[in-house]
């Protein structure tokens, strides 16, 4: 079933490009499991279905988009490699996807990136180029590398190939749990939620798609309220993967197809991480746990608009936790 409002060509990606991406990458990615918990269902008074992208290759959903981008290149483009700028999961994912095709990946990483995510890039043979922590430094450095090497720039989220690859999550999720009436998705630059929303609402026009966002990086909530992209001068959240701003390709999808943005505090994210560890027995990074934090939040639980959200898909988007910090805390 196709929502008449989601016309092909209206957005950077569509259900056709997403299904093409799924066919292109299905032999390279993991079809991640959907798990449930009666304990968490009782706690939230709803049926929850956790799509475990923390079990994806590279430890996060980002491998889907990266793989689609890498395998969309023709041989001449691929030979010169790819370049990106990323604070973590996209960097590792692109490195791994490039390695699988046998091409170089140049990865611009800000100096404040979590060590575990930098280690992943190195593990997957990505060539690390350091930048300052500002977006301008990241972008300028990546552009310089692209000019010098001829490598194709693969943006972390503002790219049709990336959005289409991330949308394959919905294709799988709605086959695995077709009863789902709502999907809660972490939001940052918007590549994940754009792909998820485009696919899900094309497959089931009645489905709700809600974004989960940390209060210290709530630009998406502000953008939805203002009707235009709002960028924040600075962000402050434990969820290091959710600090980016919406892009020109992702914003129209978020504006039109995301039903609401649920904003949560860092303390709620940490508690959701604890529940994932203790009850689901799944290692989830802060950005990945925010969907559970959102469904447990007072703003969601008490909102009459969502009283009929009974079967909720929650995307556990990544599991790359800097465990060094955790181990150090035990030693103190």
Distance (Å) of CA 185 to CA 53, 212, 270: 12, 6, 17
Q: Which alpha helices (DSSP H) does the chain contain, by range?
A: 15-25, 38-44, 62-72, 75-79, 89-101, 115-123, 135-149, 160-176, 191-203, 219-226, 251-257, 266-275, 286-296, 298-301, 323-331
Please tell me which residue in 51, 57, 62, 117 is annotated as part of the active site. 62
The active-site residue out of 17, 87, 95, 170 is: 87
Phi-psi region of 170 (alpha: psi -120 to 50; beta: other; left: phi over 0): alpha
The residue written with tokens 């994940």 in the block is 192
**Beta-bridge partner residues of 318:** 60
- For residues 102 and 206, what is the distance between their CA atoms, to the nearest angstrom? 42
Backbone phi, psi, residue 198, to 5°:
-60, -45
Length of the chain: 332
87 is catalytic: yes
Catalytic residues: 62, 87
């Amino acid at each position: 079933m196709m929502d008449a409002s989601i016309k092909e060509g209206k957005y950077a990606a569509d259900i056709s490009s997403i299904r093409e991406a799924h066919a292109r990458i299905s032999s390279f990615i993991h079809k991640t499991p959907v798990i449930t918990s009666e304990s968490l269902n009782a706690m939230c008074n709803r049926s929850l279905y956790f799509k475990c992208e923390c079990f994806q290759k590279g430890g996060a959903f980002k491998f889907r988009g990266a793989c689609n981008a890498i395998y969309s290149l023709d041989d001449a483009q691929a030979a010169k490699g790819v370049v990106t700028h990323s604070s973590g999961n996209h960097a590792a994912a692109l490195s791994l996807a490039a390695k699988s095709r046998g091409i170089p990946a140049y990865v611009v990483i800000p100096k404040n990136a979590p060590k575990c995510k930098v280690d992943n890039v190195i593990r997957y043979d990505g060539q690390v180029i350091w930048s300052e922590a500002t977006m301008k430094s990241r972008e300028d450095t990546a552009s310089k590398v692209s000019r010098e090497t001829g490598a194709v720039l693969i943006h972390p989220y503002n790219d049709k190939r990336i959005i289409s690859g991330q949308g394959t999550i919905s294709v799988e999720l709605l086959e695995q749990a077709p009863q789902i009436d709502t999907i809660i998705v972490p939001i940052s630059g918007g590549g994940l939620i754009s792909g998820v929303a485009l696919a899900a609402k094309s497959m089931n026009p009645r489905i709700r798609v809600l974004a989960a966002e940390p209060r210290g990086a709530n630009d998406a909530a502000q953008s939805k309220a203002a009707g235009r992209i709002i960028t924040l001068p600075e962000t402050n959240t434990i969820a290091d993967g959710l600090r980016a701003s919406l892009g020109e390709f992702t914003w129209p999808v978020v504006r039109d197809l995301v039903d609401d943005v649920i904003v949560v505090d860092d303390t709620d994210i940490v508690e959701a991480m604890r529940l994932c560890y203790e009850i689901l027995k799944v290692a989830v990074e802060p950005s990945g746990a925010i969907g559970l934090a959102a469904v447990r939040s007072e703003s969601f639980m008490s909102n009459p608009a969502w009283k009929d959200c009974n079967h909720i898909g929650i995307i556990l988007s990544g599991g790359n936790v800097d465990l060094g910090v955790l181990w150090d805390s035990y030693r103190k």
